Structure 1
Amino acid sequence: MVEEGEGLGLERIERWTIHKWCLLMSVGTVFVYGMAALVFSVLTWLQTWPQADVVNVADLDVLILITLASSALLLTFLLGLTGTILNSRPILAVYALLLWPAGLSVIIIGYVAYKRATFALDRKLSYAWSDWYTPLDRLVIQNSLRCCGFYDALHDATPSKQCYSRTPLPGCKGRLYRFEKQNLDLIWSAAFALVPLHIANIVVSLLCANHVTHTFGKGLMPKKYRLSGADVRADAEKILGPYAPVRPVRRPEMSRASSSDYHGLEKTDPNPNGITWTSSQRPTLWASQVTGLGLDPWVRKQV
């Protein structure tokens, strides 16, 4: 049943091809790192771990990219698993196609995080603190990192119960820099580490999608080679062409004589010539007619 592409393909697992096993393992790896990225993004959105609110403020664009990329990876996984179990090469073709934009999204995450963490991170944080962050954003960072202001409490600080002019809390520059450096390095390292694995999954999908069963396709004639009604009629006309002018012989129809014909026979004159016979000539005529029929007048007389 697996070879014919029927059912779910789970009845005879021992008859799965090595290509199908490789494809199934490849799809499983896509699920693993796609689910890991989605769990990280959901936990960050819900602020369930310390300093998650800092990521929501300072690296919101990176968090959005991670959420979109993880969703694309999970959608790709569902298509790949469905095509592998159902032995559907069209679905596997779509799966192999979707692996490309999903991998591109992973590369974009690594590039954005690497560029931000490597090139003048301190200047970017200073510019963002002064021009991009709202007072509420600064308050969130101050409460999460337990700091006040950027350089000190007198530099663009949002007043609160813990942040005031004579507070003993340090400025947020050092703690925010160290957190961003560590967090962004972790993100771009994980993203770039997944790129070789994702490329391997693309290669596996391209090599194994057409060998998910022992036979290629479903054993059906390709559509462009199938005969249509017009093709059959054209072949029939080509074969019967020399015999087309010959008309078939028409059999005569069966008919019955009408009752008027019988009535016409009854009214027929027995003596159409109008000859009058005498009484002496009638027995002789009768005898000659009987003799012509092969009957003896004497026998007829006895009868």
Structure 2
Amino acid sequence: MKRLLQLVLLVVCITVLQGCNTLKRDDYVKTKLLSKAELIPKAEFQFTLNPNTPIDLRGKYSHDRSVDSVNVLYYGTPVTALAQMLSHAALTSSAKEGKLAEQQLQANESVEPIRRTVKSLTNQALLNGHAGYVSGLALSGTQVIEVKPIFFVNQEMTEVSLTLVAWINAHNFSEKKSNRKNQKSKKYHNIIKVHASPITSGEINDTAEGKIKIQAHLSRLFTSAIDSLEKDVSGFYLKATIPQTLHIGQGSKKQFLRGNVLEHSCKTIVVQNLRKWIIRYPSTQITNLEKNCS
């Protein structure tokens, strides 16, 4: 009986600690793809978002969530020690959440000029008459994909990227459920990232012309993401490819990405990373692949 109690306490402890270690970031999801039987034909592809929501544009930061650790000695009965452990884990998780929030605020302040430029723009500016868009009023009884576009700007304000969060709710989805339970209530959940060529300083100004240029830039990123989303849910990306390491040269920095090349054209390279996220790059940013311009 004592061993059973210890086992139960261990399982509870591990479960809660895992929850504490899962920080709340709306630009990160655990991928869940459609089965072959659930794939959506191109002719039936539909997506929706709230057109009246202001465009979400944020400063890009490193997501450093490390906090100073403190050695804690747990004492007392197993139940008492467990309570102390869970309390410490909750405090640590809260500190990490606070650090991420602070980093985001600082990053936003660094890109305030471009945030002012898009301040009056809503998601309606992204749609550009897209044929696949349907309003929220037409959601019932259809496999409509809900999307949330989040734009990120680097600190130098030379690069704007898009993280498009996309999902299809299952029939047992409920607004009252926790995020973790609703993760299991999704038929499809993925991220489409789009990187673009650098923007110029002339595009970042709070004038009518500046707003038009930035709006066009954001709309192009959104259209590219919707194109890859449509291909992801229709099965276009199911073709077998060989994983490889890609060299990504962005400015003076070089990064390495392990993934599968899904599309390779003269202008764009589309990659699926190890998380199954879809990432689009200008072909000039992948330095170890030749341009496919034939």
Give the TM-score, by structure 1 length.
Answer: 0.24
Please identify which structure carries the higher helix content: 1
Larger radius of gyration: 1
Please identify which structure carries the higher strand content: 2
